Structure 1
Amino acid sequence: MRLRKSIVRGILRCARPPFGSPRTGVVGRRMMLALLTAAARAPRGTRFQRVTIAGVQVEQVRPPHAAASGTLIYLHGGAYALGSAKGYRGLAAQLAAAAGMTALVPDYSRAPEARYPVALEQMVAVYSRLLEDGHDPNTIVIAGDSAGGGLTLALAMALRDRGIALPAALGLICPWADLAVDVAEERPALRDPLILPFMCAEWAPRYVGSSDPRAPGISPAYGDMTDLPPIVMQTAGDDPISADAEKIEIACTASNTALDHRRFDGMWHDFHLQVCLLPEARDAVTDLGLNLRSHLPAESRDLLNHRKAVSR
């Protein structure tokens, strides 16, 4: 099914009052986000399996073709408080299919039950266990949206600083990478139909707790990008969180870190979740998947292309 962009924008605008109301509560807003993320359906034939890695529950997502080559670790969004691996597995499946990889979507601990650095340490443990189990880091990419995008970048910095082999590439979708500006309630408003600055200002302190909101593990936009893997980033012109991407771009330029930044004007925060409804979202997810796959070793890309040709 395909919908006009104006219709989807109107639906999101109608969802804003209850989604932004504290009276809805954490549980209520988690349910609302689950309904919104359900719009991203997995390709037919996708296989799912619940596994445990380093003590963390993970959704394993296998694309419908037997040609998967490489591993996509996908960190879901939701302001570090909402969202779940099951709720985001549709988007992860679409991206995994575009990239020709198997996806792993961890259910990291969420605020307010767990504050920083719990989620970050869990993701370091999951990634490290994959390497211990024999996964080649050159065939792994890490991607995430919104808070998951910020967590992706923070994770890469933590791995680098601890001397752990880095993945082949990072994928950032509308990354929430500067929580300090939200703790200070200084984020400007744009034309996003769902996300308003006061929402970020509500959720950021719940994750930050008593820590410094400018710490790179919380707000990687302030971190050192030196020696990070190539970054593929997509942002939306109407998204108030897009200002964080501009800071990432400046930091990458200063550190000579490879960055491919594609901006979608007239789109909103995490519009990728409407991948099954909007041509713009489908284009974005396909482009991101192909771009991430391009960073795999040549032999992995050739094997994938060969398997796809045989399966036709």
Structure 2
Amino acid sequence: MKISPLWKQLITESILKTTIRKPSQFNLPPNSIRFALEQMCRAFPSNKEVEIRPLRLAGLRAEEIKPQSESSQLILHIHGGAFFLGSLKTHRAFLTHVAARTQMQVLHVDYPLAPESVYPEASDAIFDIYTTLLGQGIQAKDIILSGDSCGANLALALALKIRDEGLPQVSGLILLSPFLDLTLTSESLRYNRKHDALLSIETLEAGIDYYVPKFMDTADPAISPLFADLTGLPPILVQVGSKEILLDDAQRFKEKAQQAGVDLTYKLYTGMWHNFQMFHPWFNEGKQALADLAEFAHQLDRD
């Protein structure tokens, strides 16, 4: 029996709310949540036409996902997970499809997570990754920075640090369902609270509590890059779902970036929840998001 797209979406949302969002509202140990999340992500199908090679870079575990022997661009992806969840395992399947669709090499890094590591350890580790790549002779113009959720936060913070340090800037940024305001002042946290199938406010609050040192202000632009000066950034793609509790993080960022003169492409996907791109094998909106991501990456390559 063929299930209609609407029923497929409703069933998926119901399952996610029961298995991920509801349990996340309780104070469960991070290691327990990490293990459960990795097991659930095994349901995502991988693209078998790519090669996955483990490596170490700047002291961190990483994976190189290659669709072909030669590619002109490198996508450096930083996974999400509210700063205390996520791993190479949770995002591997999705990134195999990114590599296959873009025909670009994807580098996926296992950065230090909270609460074991607090700010700025993750940011510093990712900056070391970038400078290591430059030291290996990879040109900045051939690197696209990508991140989902808190990974988008870390990717944007890295681009800002690259600018401020006067280093060669990457060719572009891809921000998927970005978590950019750790003060939690976005209105969508309230009006989409019951609609987002994946992410809960409790998860964000736990992540902030784990990640941000007590003496720091969550409005510090180094932690909440929504409040940073955005001038001088490279072209940016933002993707967000209409049901996301972080919808307003993306919308507010769009407005600030445009005011700063940034070349920004903003894509809103109707009916979609947080990190819906990872569910692209089953939903047209996810397939379209992957196509839009590839188109943006190819445009950067042409430019």
- AA of the residue aligned to 1:253: Q
> 1:67: how far off?
5.3
1:151-230 equivalences in 2 (<5 Å): 151-181=154-184, 187-190=189-192, 191-210=195-214, 211-230=216-235
Does 119-128 or 24-33 show the bigger shift? 24-33
SS of the counterpart of 1:38? Answer: helix
CA distance in 1, matches of 2:187, 2:290: 31
State the partner residue of 2:151. Answer: 148
- AA of the residue aligned to 2:127: V
Which runs of no fewer than 5 residues in structure 1 stay unpaired?
299-312
CA distance in 2, matches of 1:265, 1:186: 15
**Aligned match for 2:59, one of 37, 46, 55:** 55
For the Cα contact (< 8 Å) 1:73–1:143, is it kept in 2? Answer: yes
> 1:177: how far off?
0.5
SS of the counterpart of 1:295? Answer: helix
> 1:223: how far off?
0.6
For CA contacts below 8 A with separation 6 or more, give which structure has more relative contact order: 1
- AA of the residue aligned to 1:279: N
SS of the counterpart of 1:69? Answer: coil
CA distance in 2, matches of 1:205, 1:189: 23
> 1:185: how far off?
11
Normalising by the residue count of structure 2, what TM-score does the alignment of the two structures yield?
0.92
SS of the counterpart of 1:79? Answer: coil
Cα-Cα RMSD:
2.1
> 1:56: how far off?
1.4
Normalising by the residue count of structure 1, what TM-score does the alignment of the two structures yield?
0.89
Residue 73 of structure 2 is aligned to residue 70 of structure 1: yes
CA distance in 1, matches of 2:164, 2:96: 30
CA distance in 2, matches of 1:117, 1:144: 17
**Aligned match for 1:11, one of 15, 18, 37:** 15
State the partner residue of 1:302. Answer: none
> 1:69: how far off?
2.5
Segments of 4+ moved more than 4 angstroms = none
SS of the counterpart of 2:190? Answer: coil
Residue 115 of structure 2 is aligned to residue 112 of structure 1: yes
State the partner residue of 1:283. Answer: 288
- AA of the residue aligned to 2:217: D
SS of the counterpart of 1:119? Answer: helix
For the Cα contact (< 8 Å) 1:236–1:266, is it kept in 2? Answer: yes
**Aligned match for 2:96, one of 85, 93, 97:** 93
> 1:284: how far off?
0.7
- AA of the residue aligned to 1:197: I
Residue 133 of structure 2 is aligned to residue 133 of structure 1: no
Which runs of no fewer than 5 residues in structure 2 stay unpaired?
none
1:251/1:72 CA distance change after superposition, 3 Å: same
SS of the counterpart of 2:300? Answer: coil
For 1:152-184, what per-residue CA distance to the aligned partner results, in whole angstroms no more than 9, with x for missing partners? 1111001111111111010000000001227x9
For 1:14-70, what per-residue CA distance to the aligned partner results, in whole angstroms no more than 9, with x for missing partners? 112223321x3211211222234333332113211111111111111112x445331
1:32/1:185 CA distance change after superposition, 3 Å: farther
> 1:88: how far off?
0.8
- AA of the residue aligned to 2:259: A
Residue 34 of structure 2 is aligned to residue 27 of structure 1: no
Residue 270 of structure 2 is aligned to residue 265 of structure 1: yes
SS of the counterpart of 2:18? Answer: helix
Counting aligned pairs with the same residue, the percent is: 29
State the partner residue of 1:232. Answer: 237
For the Cα contact (< 8 Å) 2:78–2:151, is it kept in 1? Answer: yes
CA distance in 2, matches of 1:41, 1:295: 28
For the Cα contact (< 8 Å) 1:58–1:107, is it kept in 2? Answer: yes
SS of the counterpart of 1:261? Answer: strand
> 1:297: how far off?
4.2
Does 73-82 or 97-106 show the bigger shift? 97-106
For the Cα contact (< 8 Å) 2:187–2:248, is it kept in 1? Answer: no
Aligned residues: 295
CA distance in 1, matches of 2:198, 2:73: 34
CA distance in 2, matches of 1:180, 1:33: 26
For 1:70-115, what per-residue CA distance to the aligned partner results, in whole angstroms no more than 9, with x for missing partners? 1010100000100002321111121122222111001000000001
